[in-house]
Amino acid sequence: MTGYSLQRAWVDGTVLDDVLVEVAGGRFTRVTPDVAAADVPRATRLDGLTLPGLANAHSHAFHRALRGRTQRQRGTFWTWREQMYDVAGRLTPDSYRELAAATFREMVVAGYTSVGEFHYLHHQPDGTLHEEPNAMRDALRDAAETASIRLVLLDTAYLSSGFGAPPEGVQVRYSDGSGAAWAARAGAGPAAIHSVRAVPRDELHHLRGRHPLHVHLSEQVAENDGCLAAYGLTPAGLLHAEGLLGPRTTVVHATHLTDDDIELLGSTRTNVCLTPTTERDLADGIGPARRLADAGCRLSVGSDSHAVVDPFEELRGLEMHERLATRARGHFTAAELLDGSVQVVVAEDWAEGMGASLRAGLAALAGLGEDVPSVVVSLVDLPDLVPQVVARVVGGAVGGAGAAAGSLARAAYDGVLGVPTFDEVLTMLAEESARHGRSVGVLVELKDPAHSASLGLDLAEPLLDDLRRHRRDHSRSRVSVMSV
């Protein structure tokens, strides 16, 4: 067990002081705030503000070689692509390993501790297999190990230069010839569709059921136009028709979307990765980040082409791009930008009762298969139950003393299962008031008196009895009671 005493740390959506972090087997086992450094002399002290390691959800490691070259002149995404193809045509497994290691090291220094590598540079320059068919993929894995960054390698299918046309030029390095050949070489594991223009519709079924699954989506208007001409569908509509959207899929960029696309991505709980520094460097456009989040998509960021490697600049870019697009400020809070561990599901039919929330949550869970680490069920509607609170409850249940995978946790107070009684709440108020040296108040929420009366219960007298016993039955008691 290794311990770290953090002067300040980002925990549950806020900054806390003197946080003790315990690590065993390369995993965090406990995070405890308000532990003075003097009380844990063996823990390593880290001054300043500590954040959890951040995930770079979209990377093309070899694009790093283009930094400072493509910015010299005017152009578009398509002129940039020709320069990128030139680099792609010259890389060998050895030079790829060296370049990727340098890129990954830069990520680690910037604060990334994991990376999703969108890998499509598979073969030799003439399109033939390397002696070891996955030599380029192995080079990336070696580079990640050298840089000490956790790698999710997304083996990418790339079969066409555009909506069924054969690969051209350096693209032969990317193509396995068919979806079946790609699947045979790639094997099981994380995967990606380069784009709907690069994988024909009749080959997409080879990617169905792969997870995690990533795909470039609607980065360019030309992609949308080509997809509509070829299939009569937008790229998002095509992926949905082929059963490829959902909570295990992440679409990258999602820049040029229709209103129906946004609704479709949100209703399927598809994840969206935006890459603001690359999207502005390539003049792609500004994606509808806030609308996607509001629709139900979880957002992530990536450094993509590595014109800039700075997770905070990517997160800042989400907010700043929204300001430019809407001419209004304040679209994302810091907590929203930093938190990516909890998915919020909106029950559109909430007015039907608490069962609607449970149905919506179970429907979302069903789409996640067996990869659900824990479930929190609230027995009342709590519209302000923010992700940070859920994360804290889950952390306590899964990482708490005596808890284990497959266990069932429930609320407890003072060592007793269940919620505290009103008498216990008033006792706690007295203790907290004494501890803080000032009066601490409480807002008590009760069912409407008519509801209690219909059950033959009279709550008024027991409530007043508790208030009198704790000397809180006066106007200065700072106890408020409301009924709903």
Single-letter residue type at 277: T
Same structural domain, 215 and 310: yes
In this structure, are 317 and 452 located in the same domain? no
Q: Among 199, 154, 160, 169, which residue's Cα sits nearest to residue 81?
A: 169
Residue 343 is assigned to a structural domain of this protein? no
Whether 121 and 58 share a structural domain: yes
Q: How many domains does the chain have?
A: 4
d(CA 114, CA 128): 31
The answer to whether residues 401 and 458 belong to one domain is no
- The number of helices, as runs of H, and strands, as runs of E, in the chain is 16, 16
Q: What is each CA distance from 319 to 336, 437, 471, in whole angstroms? A: 11, 41, 50
Instruction: Centre a 10 Å sphere on the Cβ of residue 377 and count the other Cβ atoms it contains.
Output: 9
Tell me whether residue 116 is in a domain: yes
On the question of pLDDT at 415 being above 80, the answer is no
**What DSSP designation does 327 have?**
S
Q: Which pTM was predicted?
A: 0.73
Among the listed residues 304, 306, 321, 339, the single catalytic one is 304
- Give the pLDDT band of residue 408 (cuts 50, 70, 90): low
- Quote the pLDDT of residue 389: 62
Does an H or E element contain 31, and which?
A: strand 27-32
* Domain extent for 65: 54-338
Task: Choose one of 386, 409, 432: the last residue of a domain.
Answer: 409
115 and 42 fall within a common domain: no
86 among known catalytic residues? no
Does residue 307 share a domain with residue 203? yes
392 or 54, higher pLDDT: 54
220 and 260 housed in the same domain: yes
| Same domain assignment for residues 379 and 449 | no
Non-local (6+) Cβ contacts of 99 within 8 A are 61, 62, 64, 65, 91, 143
Q: Which of 363, 379, 409 is the last residue of a domain?
A: 409
345 domain-assigned: no
By the 10 Å C-beta count (0-12 exposed, 13-18 middle, 19+ buried), 8 is classed as middle
Cα 57 from Cα 272, distance rounded (Å): 10
Q: What percent of the chain has pLDDT over 70?
A: 87
Q: Does residue 100 sit in the same domain as residue 112?
A: yes
**Alpha carbon distance 286, 253 (integer Å):** 9
Same domain, 405 and 434: no
Per-residue confidence band for 233, with pLDDT thresholds at 50, 70 and 90: very high
In a domain, 108, yes or no: yes
Structure confidence at residue 382 (pLDDT): 61
pLDDT tens digits, residue range 249-264?
Answer: 999 999 999 999 999 9
What are 176-231's pLDDT values in tens digits? Answer: 999 999 999 999 999 999 999 999 999 999 999 998 999 999 999 999 999 999 99
253 is catalytic: yes
- Per-residue confidence (pLDDT) for residue 402, from 0 to 100: 41
Question: Given a cut of 70, is residue 7 above it in pLDDT?
Answer: yes
* Catalytic residue from among 253, 256, 306, 331: 253
pLDDT at 480 over 60: yes
32 and 65 share a domain?
no
For the chain, the first-to-last Cα distance in angstroms comes to 48
Least confident of 264-268, 344-348, 385-389, 432-436: 385-389
* 314 and 167 share one domain: yes
Query: What is d(CA 122, CA 136) in angstroms, rounded to the nearest whole number?
Result: 6
Highest mean pLDDT, choosing among 232-246, 332-346, 443-457: 232-246
| Cα–Cα distance, 298 to 321 (Å, whole number) | 18
The CATH number of residue 125's host domain is 3.20.20.140
Cα 222 to Cα 224: distance, rounded to the nearest angstrom: 5
- 123 part of a folded domain: yes
